[in-house]
Chains A and B, each alone.
Chain A
């Protein structure tokens, strides 16, 4: 007779647990690494940014055109960038601003990109702007983000989850292959040609380009015309960096020979030197030639891929693997 109550107690316990499992509360784990940008110390939340869409009035202003002193609830009163131009793969990009003091948290996202938004608590009240509190965030951008002009949307959220009007702040994402910032600053003229070497593992690869006169341009001799003591002329072709130099991880894994002006006529031989494997087994690379198109933008005109394995590292003993010959007439 005593068995039934005990069995019932166990049954109820497990049924309750089953219910608890089915109704799991809280935020799903998502580090946001697949999102177009990540905000340090913030929480990623899937779904649309709360709040009403931005209006055309922009940031609130007073009657005399200065900063407004009274605002509707949950108003973003200011958004600032150290530089609205975002270099590809930029890390630690500073974004700061203020919001009305009824705000408990700030939500941010790039309009039209990603699957959610980032939330972080509002900061201290700003002593210079009564009724407002500061916020600041540090963001990392994915190198594969779509380039061009975008809007950062920010919204104030109160402690009950109510959101105000989203506020826009323009920013521009530059492209990976150097185009003289033409993507965001259209008055800048794109280079005449760019030879790009990109790779996927932390090897020290080097781009070698044999010029028509036979000279070898590489990260150790990075200019097409020696400067004879002074700084190189602005129209001289230059390799922009020695990526993974000494196997120090820099995250770029890319080297570009940029010709700001028309390259000298002749054949240019492109090599990839697997200088150091840095202890890794294999690496895959792309060699890309980019040239201006009819629209004035830079476009890839040639791409070739390849792979090295550890036994092929050269230590600088040769130019490495011949990939392609490009002719300029």
Chain B
């Protein structure tokens, strides 16, 4: 049955009793009424029904046009990353849950010296996020909370943006937007790509080393003009997850520039890319003053204290904190194209940095007087398979220090601490509702030593099964 016919039935069902009552109230029709009069009455009623039907259809159409999150058209290449999102007008709530099982070859049923868990084979709630977004003509806001069990249960604020904006076209990003608050650092592509839309389970190793978590506090100016995109931000420079994260031990700020494009030159082809630059100051913490103490050093390993084994440790004066320069430049390119299996996305990013590693080989050149030069890149491809499937592959490389040496046989030998990952994935999706994916990470590193004492790979492959369900 068509929708129009169904509505007509509903309409007659609603009007039916009223008509029946009206018929009972009316006196019996005069038997003298002519056939032409009867036909005129029927025609009048038909016209009335037709008008009512049009009215009902119009109301129904209005209901369909009411804005809803899923009603926002998503052009080819659409991805939810800020500030280029197009939320519905007014307040809206969204959220997603990522629960997973992860296996890692380097997992051990032991505790580290500092008491942290070495077991990595476990079920976790990786992300459970709820976002409240507000979108009005000249203002916008976003608040996002994250709950997870990555290091035990915890709840964090992930986003708190208050914005003024000029957005002349409802379905396009704002022409200009000024945001004050807590937002994802607009450097490169991975940092601002939402984990909700990203298929690979985590950002690349380089990105995680530079920015252990995405958000920082600051001021962001951004705008979109046709294909041109620009972002300038001033942040504290201490993202969540680093020492003094979301605080700021120094008055200097990090400045981030990102300029790029986002265009659809052909109906089934979207191209986008950015160049980014960051400059700021790192912080070398000073030490507090200490008092003198006595230390026992068991020189002869007898377990018995003798006077000659007692060593005085003089008190030490406080040392001042110091700042050092850090910077990074990067570029990324993304392509979406639609062909017979579905949308193919190919993208890549390269970053060159100095003293910016804050999550892996943490850079601090104050003591060594040597700047730590970092270099990372990745390329990735994602292929949608007939709407409900996804296959992907990412290759990534990160060299945390181009100046590193190893000591063997009394010689300083240069070697590479570079880490590479090859990450194939396969996934199933219910569009805009759920994802189930399996990702295998083939990791190569220099964390171990061979039987000849040479730095070599530590078996550190991992795989993840993740289920994501979203509002």
A50 and B451 contact, CB distance less than 8 A: yes
Which listed residue (A26, A33, A34, A81) contacts B456, Cβ 8 A? A26
Residues of A within 8 A of B (CB): 3, 10, 13-14, 17, 20-21, 24-31, 33-34, 42-43, 45, 50, 81-83, 85-87, 90, 93-94, 101, 104-107, 119-125, 133, 157-161
A85 and B301 contact, CB distance less than 8 A: yes
Closest 4 CB pairs between A and B? A26-B457, A105-B453, A29-B106, A124-B410
Chain B nearest CB, measured from A49 CB (Å): 10
- Residue of B300, B422, B440, B448 with most partner-chain A CB within 10 A: B448
> What are 20 A-B contacts with C-beta separation under 8 Å?
A10-B383, A17-B424, A26-B459, A27-B458, A29-B460, A45-B451, A50-B451, A82-B300, A86-B301, A87-B303, A104-B453, A105-B408, A105-B451, A119-B450, A121-B449, A121-B453, A121-B454, A122-B409, A133-B409, A157-B453
Residues of chain A contacted by B460 (CB below 8 angstroms): 26, 29
A31 and B110 contact, CB distance less than 8 A: yes
Residues of B within 8 A of A (CB): 105-108, 110, 112, 118, 299-303, 340, 383, 391, 393, 406-410, 422, 424, 440, 442, 444, 448-454, 456-461
Chain B nearest CB, measured from A15 CB (Å): 11
Chain A nearest CB, measured from B387 CB (Å): 17
Which listed residue (B303, B440, B448) contacts A26, Cβ 8 A? B448
Select from chain B the residue with minimum beta-carbon distance to A122: B409
For the complex, give the distance between the alpha carbons of A28 and B410 in Å.
27
Residues of chain B contacted by A34 (CB below 8 angstroms): 110
Select from chain A the residue with minimum beta-carbon distance to B112: A31
Select from chain A the residue with minimum beta-carbon distance to B426: A14
B340 and A3 contact, CB distance less than 8 A: yes
A104 and B409 contact, CB distance less than 8 A: yes
Residues of chain B contacted by A157 (CB below 8 angstroms): 451-453
For the complex, give the distance between the alpha carbons of A179 and B315 in Å.
39
Q: Is the contact region of chain B dominated by helix, strand, or loop, or is it mixed?
A: loop
Chain B nearest CB, measured from A194 CB (Å): 16
Which listed residue (B301, B408, B424) contacts A87, Cβ 8 A? B301
A121 and B409 contact, CB distance less than 8 A: yes
For the complex, give the distance between the alpha carbons of A93 and B106 in Å.
27
Residues of chain B contacted by A105 (CB below 8 angstroms): 408, 449, 451-454
**A119 in contact with B451 given A31-B108, A104-B408 (CB within 8 Å):** yes
Q: Give 9 A-B pairs besides A27-B449, A105-B408, A122-B408 with Cβ atoms closer than 8 angstroms.
A: A13-B424, A20-B422, A21-B461, A29-B108, A29-B460, A33-B108, A104-B409, A157-B452, A161-B452
**A83 in contact with B301 given A21-B440, A125-B410 (CB within 8 Å):** yes
Chain B nearest CB, measured from A159 CB (Å): 5
B407 and A121 contact, CB distance less than 8 A: yes
A123 and B410 contact, CB distance less than 8 A: yes
Residues of chain B contacted by A81 (CB below 8 angstroms): 301
Residues of chain A contacted by B449 (CB below 8 angstroms): 27, 42-43, 105, 119-121
Residues of chain B contacted by A14 (CB below 8 angstroms): 391, 424
